């Protein structure tokens, strides 16, 4: 079975006009215009299997949206090639567009003064969805997203979260097999974000959809995907499992402690680096290969009420990865031992050896 998305050495270069400041610079730009080349995407290659959900991460201006626009056929690449849903994005025509959806969190397709139902019906006509099938799909999306009476209210009267749910329903009525999602939870409150995540996970499970997701919310990434692509300055820095990235970038584990009997800070320093201590709570940082041994010592030698072993926050790991300039240095990911594979290990102190 062919992959759902294939990008091969995709590049996009823009000619940007350069002008000096002031009136003289403006006149010079008119008479003798000068340009410089900006490489927004630089030889990006990756593959995504059918039914897989992958996060596409990078700081603002890294080239994420430009890549998505090329994969959906909205932009022609300067070089390279791609396939999505079995089509060339730039020559696939309507047959290609009927098999994908491209949802941008900062753009809307809802008709502002009309209820979402009108947009739904318009999309049904555009994609040629039979009426009986439309009724069935609409009912499913209304149920999964909890739209209730929202689809009969003018879009301008809906909250941002309500509009985003209706946007997703409108984009998925033709039941695309490949979803390109660009910041789908942008600006939403925590409850709305969770609703969107739960819906996307359920939709993927039901219909075997492939998802390529960009987001600045790491909760989206951890809830929906296991593999990540990291891009910065137009170049792909990492393509692999999120757990492996954490193991490579953050070679430490954090031990979160709740002490029944507080001890001096100097006592805790014998077990690792004390990152935080506000009795009775403490956070220790230790090399990940020594985390189990350190926690065993803590439980046996101190009066511990609770203990957990965690990876550093994923936001911190991704931020470090964004700063890596050498792609090869990120790609060389050591295998994590099975003993340390779990991101979170909780232990009841009452079961600790005495």
**C-alpha closest to that of 165 among 224, 108, 208, 101:** 108
Same domain, 240 and 255: no
Same domain, 108 and 221: yes
Same domain, 127 and 266: no
> Which pLDDT does position 324 carry in this prediction?
58
Residues 48-83 as b or e (16 or more Cβ within 10 Å = b): bebebbbbbbbbeebbbbbbbbbbbbebebbebebb
Q: For residue 56, is it within any domain?
A: yes
CB atoms closer than 10 angstroms to residue 280: 16
Same domain, 64 and 184: yes
CA dist 161 and 86 (Å) reads: 33
Same domain, 196 and 276: no
Same domain, 174 and 300: no
Which of 225, 244, 263 is the last residue in one of the domains?
A: 244
Residue showing tokens 């009108």: 118
Which of 216, 244, 272 is the last residue in one of the domains?
A: 244
> Which pLDDT does position 16 carry in this prediction?
85
Mind giving me the DSSP string for 10-26?
A: EEEEEEEEE--SHHHHH
**C-alpha closest to that of 237 among 317, 179, 343, 313:** 317
Q: For residue 105, is it within any domain?
A: yes
**C-alpha closest to that of 143 among 206, 225, 101:** 206
Same domain, 151 and 262: no
Strands 227-232, 53-57: pairing is parallel
202 in Cβ contact with 144 (< 8 Å)? yes
Same domain, 156 and 210: yes
Same domain, 191 and 333: no
Q: For residue 154, is it within any domain?
A: yes
Looking at residue 125, which CATH number applies to its domain? 3.40.50.300
Q: For residue 17, is it within any domain?
A: no
The gap between the terminal CA atoms of the chain, to the nearest Å, is 56
CA dist 206 and 198 (Å) reads: 12
> Which pLDDT does position 54 carry in this prediction?
97
Give the SS3 label for residue 183. coil
284 in Cβ contact with 271 (< 8 Å)? yes
> Which pLDDT does position 133 carry in this prediction?
96
Q: For residue 214, is it within any domain?
A: yes
Count of the separate structural domains present in the chain: 2
Q: For residue 27, is it within any domain?
A: no
Mind giving me the DSSP string for 60-126?
A: TTSSHHHHHHHHTTSS--SEEEEEETTB-TTT-HHHHHTTEEEEETT---S-TTS-HHHHHHHHHHH
Which residues in the chain land under pLDDT 70? Answer: 1, 324-354
Same domain, 288 and 179: no
Domain that holds residue 270: 251-310+324-351
Q: For residue 316, is it within any domain?
A: no
Same domain, 229 and 108: yes
Q: For residue 295, is it within any domain?
A: yes
pLDDT in tens, 211-263: 999 998 888 999 999 899 999 999 999 999 988 888 888 788 999 999 999 99
DSSP bridge partners of 17 = 35
Whole-prediction pTM value? Answer: 0.78
Same domain, 202 and 329: no
How is residue 326 written in tokens? 């050498």
DSSP bridge partners of 284 = 255, 274
Which of 229, 244, 259 is the last residue in one of the domains?
A: 244
> Which pLDDT does position 353 carry in this prediction?
35
Q: Where are the beta strands (DSSP E) in the chain?
A: 5-18, 34-48, 53-57, 79-84, 100-104, 178-182, 210-214, 227-232, 235-241, 252-259, 273-278, 281-287, 304-310, 344-348
262 CA to centre of own chain: 40
């Amino acid at each position: 079975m062919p992959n759902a998305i294939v990008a091969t050495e995709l590049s996009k270069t823009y000619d940007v006009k350069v002008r000096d400041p002031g009136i003289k610079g403006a006149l010079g730009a008119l008479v003798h215009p000068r340009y410089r080349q900006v490489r927004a995407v630089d030889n990006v290659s990756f593959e995504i299997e059918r039914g897989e959900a992958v996060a596409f991460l990078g700081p603002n201006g890294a080239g994420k949206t430009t890549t998505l626009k090329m994969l959906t056929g909205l932009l022609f690449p300067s070089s390279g090639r791609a396939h999505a849903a079995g089509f060339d994005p730039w020559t696939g025509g309507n047959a290609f567009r009927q098999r994908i959806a491209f949802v941008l969190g900062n753009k809307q397709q809802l008709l502002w003064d009309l209820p979402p139902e009108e947009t739904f019906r318009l999309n049904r006509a555009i994609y040629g969805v039979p009426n009986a099938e439309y009724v069935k799909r609409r009912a499913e999306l209304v149920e999964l997203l909890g739209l209730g009476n929202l689809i009969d209210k003018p879009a301008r009267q809906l909250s941002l979260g309500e509009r985003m749910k209706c946007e997703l329903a409108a984009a998925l009525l033709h039941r695309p097999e490949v979803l390109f999602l660009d910041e789908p939870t942008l600006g939403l409150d925590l409850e709305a974000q969770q609703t969107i995540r739960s819906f996307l996970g359920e939709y993927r499970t039901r219909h075997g959809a492939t998802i390529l997701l960009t987001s600045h919310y790491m909760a989206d990434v951890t809830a929906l995907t296991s593999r990540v692509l990291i891009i910065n300055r137009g170049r792909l820095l990492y393509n692999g499992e999120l757990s492996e990235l954490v193991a490579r970038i953050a070679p430490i584990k954090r031990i979160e402690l709740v002490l029944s009997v507080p001890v001096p800070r100097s006592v805790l320093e014998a077990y690792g680096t004390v990152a935080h201590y506000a009795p009775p709570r403490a956070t220790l940082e230790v090399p990940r290969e020594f985390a189990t041994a350190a926690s065993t010592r803590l439980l046996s030698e101190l009066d511990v009420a609770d203990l957990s072993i965690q990876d550093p926050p994923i936001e911190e790991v991704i931020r470090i990865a964004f700063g890596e300039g050498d792609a090869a240095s990120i790609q060389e990911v050591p295998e994590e031992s099975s003993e340390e594979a779990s991101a979170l290990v909780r232990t009841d102190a009452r079961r600790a050896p005495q």
